[in-house]
């Protein structure tokens, strides 16, 4: 999703969000019945698992599949993962990847989201030879938009800072 989006989403207080977040329990199905997963195309990795490209068999939608082995998690971490799944299912913002589904296999969890084709922000900044003021402005607009969406204060009272010439 482009960084130039100007729409600001209405903030909702974090306390209100926490009360209304539904508990999402991953479904127990065979992921291969629904998605083609390309295990040769790892597009990301973290402390608990890897992310692969996939495609919904019926709809043809390109997705990212986060594969999290249960063996790497203790009970607290498993609870945190289930909370992450519930949060992802609840969020709806143009600058946050869209959650599609979650599945539980015998030894792994699968989290299915929209594939963010832009890559990591840090990598994008490092790869550019020039990061212009316009680029920075667009990036900051997106980040502030997300903070507003979460109901977090972005500026001290008095509004955004103004550049004095």
To the question of whether residue 66 is assigned a binding role by annotation, the answer is yes
Give me the pLDDT at residue 28, please.
72
92 in a structural domain: yes
- Give the chain's domain count: 1
Domain that holds residue 55: 21-114
Give me the pLDDT at residue 11, please.
37
User: What CATH code is carried by the domain that includes residue 57?
Assistant: 3.30.200.20
What's the pLDDT tens digit per position in 71-106? 888 999 988 888 888 888 888 888 888 899 888 888
Residue 125 has pLDDT above 60, yes or no: yes
42 in a structural domain: yes
Three-state secondary structure along the chain? CCCCCCCCCCCCCHHHHHHHCCCCCCECCCHHHCEEEEEEEEEEECCCCEEEEEEECCCCCEEEEEEEEHHHCCHHHHHHHHHHHHHHHHCCCCCCCCEEEEEECCCEEEEEEECCCCCCHHHHHHHCCCCCHHHHHHHHHHHHHHHHHCCCCCCCCCCCCCCCC
61 in a structural domain: yes
Give me the pLDDT at residue 89, please.
85
32 in a structural domain: yes
162 in a structural domain: no
Total-model pTM: 0.69
53 in a structural domain: yes
127 in a structural domain: no
The confidence band for 55, taking pLDDT boundaries of 50, 70 and 90, is very high
161 in a structural domain: no
Give me the pLDDT at residue 154, please.
62
């Amino acid at each position: 999703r482009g960084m130039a989006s100007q729409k600001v989403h209405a903030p909702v207080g974090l306390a209100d969000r926490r009360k209304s977040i539904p508990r999402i329990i991953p479904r127990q199905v065979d992921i291969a019945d629904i998605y083609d997963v390309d295990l040769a195309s790892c597009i990301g990795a973290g402390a608990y698992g890897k992310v692969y490209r996939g495609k919904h068999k019926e709809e043809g939608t390109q997705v990212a599949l986060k594969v999290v082995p249960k063996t790497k998690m203790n009970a607290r971490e498993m609870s945190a993962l289930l909370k992450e799944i519930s949060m992802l299912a609840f969020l709806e913002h143009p600058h946050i990847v869209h959650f599609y589904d979650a599945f539980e296999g015998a030894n792994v969890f699968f989290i299915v989201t929209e594939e963010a084709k832009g890559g990591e922000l840090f990598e994008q900044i490092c790869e550019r030879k020039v990061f212009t003021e316009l680029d920075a402005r667009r990036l900051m607009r997106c980040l502030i938009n997300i903070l507003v969406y979460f109901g977090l204060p972005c500026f001290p009272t008095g509004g955004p800072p103004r550049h004095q010439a």
